[in-house]
Amino acid sequence: MKKGFLLSLLILLSACSTASMAASLPADKFLIIAHRGASAYAPEHSLLSYGLAVQMKADYIELDVHMTKDGELVSMHDPFVHLPDGRKQIAEVDFQELKEIRRESDYDGKLSVSLPEGIDPLRIVSTEEIFSYFQDDVNYYIELKTPASYAGIEDALLGQLRAFGLLPLEDTELPKVILQSFDARSLKKIHVQEPDIPLIQLYSAKNETMLTKKRLEKVAEYASGIGVDKSVVTEELVELAHDADLHVHPFTVNEEKEIRRMIEIGVDGIFTDVPDVAVEVVEEMLGE
């Protein structure tokens, strides 16, 4: 009986010793994450919105990823769309139907953006189209939206990232890919497969009570940071997260005074609809 116990203990200790640490993020770089692209100026998650964000020198473009009925990964925020025959979940719709949804823009064209020919720059696009166009010239901050609703979405996304040469991550100034989700199980699944990808555990304002020292220490076992609603971000929370070796990326920070406040209390980056405004403030305050 003692031998069996010792054997079990050795196996457990061996498993713990081989467990991968969470990936690291740059400690001296304030990240400007273009929330759904430069979505204050163009339809969110469109090629125009992403192109503008790149021109505005955002550090990352943010993609929200769902999976269609025919298995296509698409970048859009809501899990549903309104079609002529009513509201449908993304999982019930083929990609071709999404491509036919018309969207308009008030973009004034003041900032020149180069976009691929043959693709409506305003329409809903797939992740494959985004990766195919931008390649490894930009950095991607990708959220898996309700991954439990889409069987195999983690494997599908990782497969695309590998196919486009975005994985494995190279030793660059900034990680080429950061993945985020509200779903801890999904993030842990990714961490097992690709431990070098920085992961961000998201929290909504209603989950503020979960941001405790004990909880953050557990999150740090697989994640590199937390994404939190700006309304719950305080200097105390930032210190708590940093003590657990977690970065803090609040969302969605658009007003100049809000951007300044976030920098002053020590967050590590922000999601913003106006990356051009954020770039100006960061350059002024941090010299980056």
Q: Contact 122/101 with Cβ under 8 angstroms?
A: no
The amino acid present at 106, given as its one-letter code, is: D
User: Residue 29: which H helix or E strand, with range?
Assistant: none
- The three-state secondary structure class of 199 is strand
Residues with Cβ within 8 Å of 45's Cβ and at least 6 positions away in sequence, in order, are: 36, 37, 39, 63, 64, 75, 76, 77, 124, 125
- Written as six digits, the tokens of 156 are 């599908």
d(CA 227, CA 252): 10
- Tell me the catalytic residues: 35, 77
How far, in Å, are 60, 123, 286 from residue 15 at the CA level? 35, 47, 42
Nearest in space to 203 (alpha carbons), one of 225, 175, 234: 225
- Written as six digits, the tokens of 114 are 């180069």
| Chain centroid to CA 10 | 38
Residues with Cβ within 8 Å of 66's Cβ and at least 6 positions away in sequence, in order, are: 73, 74, 76, 79, 90, 91, 145, 146, 150
Q: What are the two backbone dihedrals, phi and then psi, of residue 177, each rounded to the nearest 5 degrees?
A: -135, 135
Total residues found in the chain within this entry: 288
- Written as six digits, the tokens of 161 are 């990232």
